[in-house]
Amino acid sequence: MAPGAIDERIKDVAEPRKDTLGLPEPALQRLKKAGIDLSNGYPYRPARPLYLQDVYDIRSKEWKHDDAGARADKSKSALLSAATKVTDLTTHIGTEIEGLQLKDLTDQQKDELALLIAERSVVFFRNQDISPQQQLELGKYYGEVEIHPQVPQVPGHLGVTVIWPDLQATEFAANFRKPGGASRWHTDLVHELQPAGITHLHNDTVPPIGGDTLWASGYSAYEKLSPDFRKIIDGKLAVYTSAHPYLDRNHPEAGPKFVERVHPLVRVHPATGWKALWVNRAMTDRIVGLDRAESDVILNYLYDVYERNVDIQVRFRWTPNTSALWDNRITMHNASWDYGGKHPRHGTRVTSLAEKPYFDPAAPTRREALGLLDESEKQIDGPAWSIVFRDQRS
């Protein structure tokens, strides 16, 4: 597979670098078993677009997304009854399923899995025998698979991204003080016109100690806010940026710029109908209509709520051949680099793009929909001092 841009319309490209790093043995055996052609090297790197305008044009038109979770049987009986064990890892986020192979799921079970992911944010499956091709097939079931214009991919299978920290370190050195890469809170592909829905990461090779990944719940982050503060951000729009910079063809002298798109700060998931906070420190740039100083105050507070409340997070310990499927519409995540690059870590990832984010003021929170609200979460009618005064008199 000769290197080229992912879109044949793109002519101005930077030639990809040549990689000579040896594959970890478990990854090599998995790829060979899957019949992946490694004769031209690994991974495949597309020729990187130089100009911002070309990247905007890759996916510039809306399409109708048919959400699998929205059409699922709410009982999820076909999926859950086939499992040998289902374990919620925390109260608010994260579920592990045992006894199922992702490659063997029926369409009904795939729909129900999408709904479970929408409800629990991230779902884990250990001991998975799944090829990159099967991973890609599942991703296509869940939506239009994102083909990234410049990240490493599995040869012959565009859309299957290679997640290999040792390879990334050959371009961007990492160390204890600055681990870099995915070792920061972020949400994937927020700059897309229709951003990421379900992401499926399969790690075939993991360190013996460390290398955990953390996820945080956007449902719960929103619910941590007071009802009155939610009114401040409900319906507000923000500018979301790409992770990779490009040059403006019309003004290349201005230096690198990022893809920018405008989406709501609070969005609603189409399968659950619940509101979720949708910000991340890495790629949410500013709130539309506010001065930069005003925007920074609000966003930094929202980041802190999302990142610092450990009760709305799950930390997952990987084992070889484990798959994690999460929903980027309602989460952010952070990959720990505490193993310091001393052991190999390798996986393949497929991300399905979803609907254009939307906000519905009538949508409930997760806790409201499930009947879990306590007194501190309920709206106070009238000035707070009058409530205090009334309580003191009584």
Q: Which residues are known to be catalytic?
A: 186, 188, 333, 349
Retrieve residue 285's tokens. 């740039």
In angstroms, the CA 19 to CA 109 distance is 39
Start-to-end CA distance of the chain, whole Å, equals: 78
Retrieve residue 235's tokens. 């319906």
The CA distances from residue 329 to 157, 184, 333, in Å, are 25, 18, 12
For 205, the enclosing helix (H) or strand (E) is strand 196-205
Beta strands in 7-79 (DSSP E): 13-14, 48-49
167 with 19: CB under 8 angstroms?
yes
Three-class secondary structure assignment of 348-384: EEEEEECCCCCCCCCCCCHHHHCCCCCHHHCCCCCCH
